[in-house]
Amino acid sequence: MGLALYDTLRRDRVQFEPLEPEHVRMYTCGPTVHDYAHIGNLRTFLFEDLLRRVLEARGYRVTQVMNLTDVDDKIIEKARAAGETIAAFTRRYTEAFFEDLATLRVERAEHYPTATGHIPAMVELVLRLEAAGHTYRTEDGSIWFRIGSFPGYGKLSRIDLSGMRDGARVESDEYDKEDPKDFALWKAAKPGEEAWDTELGRGRPGWHIECSAMSMAYLGESFDLHTGGVDNIFPHHENEVAQSEAATGRPFARTWLHAEHLIVDGQKMAKSLGNFFTLRDLLKRGYRPRAIRYLLLSVHYRQQLNFTFAGLDQAAASIERLSDFVRRVSELPAGDAPSAELAERSRRAGEEFDAALDDDLNTSRALAAVFDWVRDANRAFDAGRASAADRPALEAVLARFDAVYDVLTPDPEELRLDAGIQALIDERETARRERDWGRADALRGRLEELGILVEDTPGGPRWKRSPGA
């Protein structure tokens, strides 16, 4: 069996096999760092984290490259409006981006190259394309890729090019393009803009060329996986294929994976609709990072994800259910022999979990496999048919789950809150021991206001968050 992935290029599910044994080379289109990432962007980055973790769980070593676009029209415009250099302006959003990834527990890629840090590699690639006759220059000094020179143009997006017009989107500096679909490899400097003096003249790179140049610099001319959001397929990825393969004469990325859009309450997310959220917006409303992570990972990446606050509450409740289960496993009574029934049930759960993820990262089926197992194991616990001897088998499934989903350990903020709650519980215990019932009740009331349910057990007080708290 093994891992099967849906390849946008072949429009088919393919058995994954890397070009080099046991080593996966993967390129991920990163952010343009002129603003905070919104939850739609983050959904795509989490899908890529899921993919990376599944590859690692299957024993592959992964080399992942994610570019940071730190120069483009918008950045130049916004930096100028802020009275800053583009370097100073983009640094702020680059830092915010890495903070967001860390908050959502996205594993670090091996390389995060910036466009401004790789101008020579881009210049070299444009020179190669120029030498091979795929480019032309316009009067202003800009260099264009002639898509008519690459017969495979359109093979990734399968877009119908016959009726395509630039229409209203013609920019003033594109007036003399030969074909409206041709795209800029190098943009000649305009007065007042930041620019680089290179063999191509004074200017700056077009957007598409950076991903071709940087992926090849770190991963080689042919590599395994290229990922992004569906909105990248055309023109960005189509152009990457054209300029890369025209330059090298070799296949570029072998398999292309694209994440679908995120919508909010059934509508396209837009600032004008008031349904536009960054991670920071959700954290300010008191949502926990691991609930956001869980929600964004809970829908198959090739389906639209409809983000709702009710869904986020459900995600938090699901994590709570898993945390309860983890606690029960840790508190199983002593026993000598493991239960054959639980061992078999756990083995099956692990297999179903892996099989679902191997099926093009079918995350909802993988989660269902885990929750069915949790339900069955809880029943065995309730019936007294489990003991500490079963712990290794149960913990193995939990570890397998959390290596990919990574939601079982509390967020730092939760731990801080938990410490505060524990202090209140300890204080209540002291009051009870001193038979200060009034004070003990007041503290219980305070905990209830915080959404904390306290249960007094023979082993001492135990607490949990009430659902929805």
CB of 187 to Zn ion, least distance (A): 17
Strands 12-15 and 4-7 come out as antiparallel
CB of 211 to Zn ion, least distance (A): 3
Nearer to Zn ion, 103 or 227 (CB): 227
Beta strands in 91-220 (DSSP E): 135-137, 143-145, 183-188, 196-198, 201-205
Nearer to Zn ion, 29 or 101 (CB): 29
Nearer to Zn ion, 65 or 211 (CB): 211
Geometric angle at alpha carbon 151, from 229 and 210, rounded to 5°: 40
Sign of torsion over alpha carbons 111, 280, 208, 72: negative
Nearer to Zn ion, 252 or 294 (CB): 252
Amino acid at 111: H
CB of 264 to Zn ion, least distance (A): 25
Contact (CB, 8 A) for 319 and 291:
yes
| Owner of token pair 């057990």 | 457
Provide DSSP, 37-90.
PBHHHHHHHHHHHHHHHHHHHTT-EEEEEE-BB--SHHHHHHHHHHT--HHHHH
Nearer to Zn ion, 211 or 297 (CB): 211
Separation CA 302–CA 297 (nearest Å): 12
CB of 109 to Zn ion, least distance (A): 13
CB of 228 to Zn ion, least distance (A): 6
Nearer to Zn ion, 49 or 72 (CB): 72
Non-local (6+) Cβ contacts of 436 within 8 A are none
* Site residues for Zn ion per CB under 5 A: 29, 211
Retrieve residue 53's tokens. 């973790």
Retrieve residue 290's tokens. 């691991």
Nearer to Zn ion, 109 or 447 (CB): 109
Nearer to Zn ion, 62 or 211 (CB): 211
CB of 217 to Zn ion, least distance (A): 14
Helix axes 363-382, 340-358, angle to 10 degrees: 170
CB of 302 to Zn ion, least distance (A): 19
CB of 299 to Zn ion, least distance (A): 24
Where does 193-268 have alpha helices with state H? 207-219, 238-248
Amino acid at 260: E
What SS3 state is found at 441?
Answer: helix
CB of 214 to Zn ion, least distance (A): 9
CB of 107 to Zn ion, least distance (A): 20
Non-local (6+) Cβ contacts of 45 within 8 A are 28, 37, 101, 104, 106
**Could you count the other beta carbons within 10 Å of the beta carbon of residue 63?**
19
The residue length of the chain stands at 469
Separation CA 403–CA 357 (nearest Å): 13
Nearer to Zn ion, 29 or 305 (CB): 29
Nearer to Zn ion, 215 or 346 (CB): 215
